[in-house]
Structure 1
Amino acid sequence: MRFKASIQNISIFTKLTASLNSLGNFAWVKLSDNQVCFTIIPEQGTQVWAVLSIDSIFEVYNIQSAANNVVNLEVPLAPLTTALRSALQATSASIRLTKKDNIPLLALTIVTNSSINPRGAISTTGNSQEDSAFGNGYEESAFGRERETIVTQEIPVKVLSADSVSGLHEPRCREPDVHIMLPPLAQIKGISDRFTKLASGGAKPGAGMTAANAPRSRLELSANMHGCLKLSIRTDAMNISSVWTGLTNPELDPSQVQGGEEGIAEHPSTRMKALGSADGRSDQGWATVRIDGRDWGKVMSVGRLGGRVIACFCHEHALILYVYLPNDNEGEDESVLTYYMSSYSA
C-alpha cells in the first residue's frame, strides 16, 4: 500500500480541513486513482461528503494498493490542519503514507528557502521556528546564499479495510421542493450568528453550563422558486427575519432528472414555481427547514473556500448544500462538498 503526492494548493487544503474540523474530529478519507473523498459522519449534526478532483489539491499523485488502488484512512483533522497551516508559506510541500513502530502515519514534508543577507542575518520565506516546533525532525543545508529547511510532521492515522466502510453511504433524500443559489456565505453567517446571539440574550453559559450544553437556538430557513430566501428566528420574546430577493434558481438538467423533460414537468420544484412571487410577500410556494443555529454557523465556515453554493430544500425534512469549489481549468471535474442537515419538527 502506497500513497505519495505533492501539494499544489496548500491554502485550499488547509481551509478545507479547518472547515471540516469544525463539524467533526475525524474524517474518513478515501484515496483513489481519480479522486479524493473526505467524509464526516458525526453522531448528531451535519454530515459532509466531499468529492475532490485530484488536481484541486495535488500535483504529482501516486497511489497503489491491492484493493483496486483504493486506500481508506481515518484521519484526525485538528493535527492535519495544524500541520498544513505551518506550510502556508512553504516553497513546496508533499504528503505520504508511511509507518513508524508499526503505526501508520501521514508524513507532511515542508520545504522552505531562506536567504542570507551580507551581514549574515537569515530572511526566511516560511516560519521555520514554528515548523520546527510542530515537526518531528528537520534538516538544513546551505547552498551559496540560500538555506533550505526541510521539516517533516507526522500525523497518526488508521488504515480502514474496505469491508469496514462498505456500509457507509450518503443519506437518501427525496427530490427537493426548492433549489436556490445562496448569497455569499459570509453574509449569511454574519446574520445567522447575530440572530442566534439575540435569541440567547447574549448571555454567557451560567454555573454548571458549558457552551456544549447551553440551550440551542433554532433558525428557520425558507426559500421559493422565485429567487427568495428567508432566514428567521422565533422565540417567546421576538420574531425577526432577513429576506434576500433576486437570487438564482438553477434550471434542472433533463439528463440528470428521471424521465427527462417529462420528469421536470412533474418535479416538486416545478409545482412550487407555479406558486409564490418574486417579491417574497406571498405565503405560498415556500419550502422550510428548521436547523440548529450553532451547527449552521459551523457549516457556514465553508464560505472561506469560495465557490458557488446551491441549497436544496426538502420541505420540513432536510436541507442539502452543494458547495462547488472554484475551478480555474475548464474541462476538469468539479470538486463538490455536500452537506446534509435534518430539519427539526415545528
Structure 2
Amino acid sequence: MRFKTDLKNIRTFSKLAAALNSLEKIAWIRLDDDTVRFTVIPEVGSQVWASLSADLIFDNYQLQSNEPANTINLELPLAPLQRALRSAINSHNANLRLTKKDGAPMLSMVIHTMTKDSGGPNPAAPHSRPADDDDDNDPFNNPSPFPTEPLELQMKREREKIITQDIPVRVLHPDTVETIMQPKVREPDVHIQLPPLLQLKAISDRFTKLALTTASTSSSSHNNIVTKDPKLELSANMHGSLRLRLRTETLDITSVWDGLENPELDPSQLAMPLEEHPSTVFREAGRDKWATVRVDGKDWSRVLSVGRLEGRVIACFSDEHALILYVYVPHSSGGVGGGVGDGGCCYLLRLVF
C-alpha cells in the first residue's frame, strides 16, 4: 500500500477541512486513481459526502494498493489535518504521504517554506590618528561639510525551513467501508441556486439567536429551564424564490429571495422523462407551489460554513423529506459546472434532514 503526493490548491483544501471540521471531528477518506472522497457522518445532524477530482488538490499523485482502482480507505481526525494545511498555505512546496511511525499508520505532511535571516558584521568605527600640520589644509578632514557616518550592512539570506506534521490515521478494511452507504433520497421537487452563503448564514443566525432569546425568556417566566434548539423552515419554488421562515409561539418572521436561478436538468442523467420529473410538476403548478424542509438552526449554521469554499451552491428540496446541497468547487482555472449533476466539476454533497 502506497500513497504519496504533492499538494496544490492548499487554500481550497484548507477551507474544505475547516468546513468539515465544523460538523464532525472524524472523517473517512477514500482515495482511488481519479477521485478523493470525504465522508462525515455525525450521530446527529448533517451528513457530508464530498467528492473531489484528485487533480484539484493533488499533484504528482502516486497511489498503489491491492484493491480495484488502487483504492485506499482512511479514517483521520480533521483538526490535525486542518492545522497542518494552515501551516502549509504560504509554503512553496508541500507533500503528503502515508507512512508508519512506531508501527502506527500516519499521514506525514512535509512543508517547505523560505525564511529570511538578517545578519552580517558591522564595519568597525573609523579610527583616529594623530593630527599634523597638514590637517588644517585638508578639506576632507573637516567634519562639518562631510560628516562621518557609520556604514551598516544588512545581509539577508533566504533559508529553507522544513516542517513535518504527522496526522494519525486508521487504515480501514474494504469490508468495513462497505457498510458506509450514501443514503438514497427521491428525486428533488425543487432545485435552486442559493444566494451567497455568508449572507444566508447571517440572516439564519439572526433568526436562530432571536428564537433562542425568546425561548429563554418564555422558559424563565414559566420556571422551565428546558429550551429546545429552534427549527428553521426553508422553502423554495421552481420560479426562482427561496424563503427562510421562523415560527414560534410568539414569533413569525420571514425573509425571501427572488430572482434566483433554477438550473436546467440534463435529461440524459434522469431516470425518467423530464416532463414527468417532480420539478416539472412543481414548475407547472406556479409560484405558490413550495417545497419545504425544517432544519435545526445551529446545525444549519454549521452547514453554511461551506460558504468559505466560494463555490456555486445548488439546493435540492424533497418536500417534507430532505435537503441536499451540492457545492461546486471551481478548479484553479475558474471553471464551474453549469447544470445540476454536471460531471465536469468537483462537488461537495451535504444532506440535511
Matched, 1:335 2:340: no
TM-score by length of 2: 0.82
Letter of the aligned partner of 1:189 in structure 2?
K
- Cα contact 1:276–1:286 (8 A) shared by 2: no
TM-score by length of 1: 0.84
Letter of the aligned partner of 2:213 in structure 1?
G
User: Could you tell me the percent identity over the aligned residues?
Assistant: 55
Q: CA RMSD in A?
A: 2.1
CA deviations 1:262-316 (Å, max 9, x no partner) are x111111111111233xxxxxx310000000000000000000011111000000
User: Match for 1:221 among 231, 234, 237?
Assistant: 234
Between structure 1 and structure 2, the one with the greater Rg is 2
Seen in structure 2, the aligned counterparts of structure 1 residues 119 and 203 have a Cα distance that, compared at 3 Å, is farther
- Cα contact 2:233–2:244 (8 A) shared by 1: yes
Matched, 1:190 2:202: yes
- Cα contact 2:9–2:332 (8 A) shared by 1: no
User: Match for 1:318 among 316, 322, 335?
Assistant: 322
4+ aligned runs moved over 6 Å, structure 1: 202-206
Which residue number in structure 1 is paired with residue 42 of structure 2?
42
After TM superposition, give the deviation of residue 118 of structure 1 in Å: 5.2
Seen in structure 2, the aligned counterparts of structure 1 residues 151 and 160 have a Cα distance that, compared at 3 Å, is same
Letter of the aligned partner of 1:251 in structure 2?
E
User: Match for 2:249 among 224, 236, 243?
Assistant: 236
Letter of the aligned partner of 2:310 in structure 1?
G
Which residue number in structure 2 is paired with residue 270 of structure 1?
280
SS in 2 for 1:198: helix
- Cα contact 1:53–1:333 (8 A) shared by 2: no
After TM superposition, give the deviation of residue 327 of structure 1 in Å: 2.2
- Cα contact 1:222–1:231 (8 A) shared by 2: yes
The separation in 2 between residues aligned to 1:220 and 1:202, in whole angstroms, is: 17
CA deviations 1:85-129 (Å, max 9, x no partner) are 112221211111000111000101111111234558xxxxxxxxx
Which residue number in structure 2 is paired with residue 74 of structure 1?
75
Letter of the aligned partner of 1:106 in structure 2?
L
The separation in 1 between residues aligned to 2:80 and 2:72, in whole angstroms, is: 20
Letter of the aligned partner of 2:306 in structure 1?
V
After TM superposition, give the deviation of residue 204 of structure 1 in Å: 8.5
Structure 2 unmatched ranges of 5 or more = 122-155, 220-225, 338-342
The separation in 2 between residues aligned to 1:18 and 1:196, in whole angstroms, is: 22
Seen in structure 2, the aligned counterparts of structure 1 residues 268 and 203 have a Cα distance that, compared at 3 Å, is closer
The separation in 1 between residues aligned to 2:260 and 2:284, in whole angstroms, is: 17
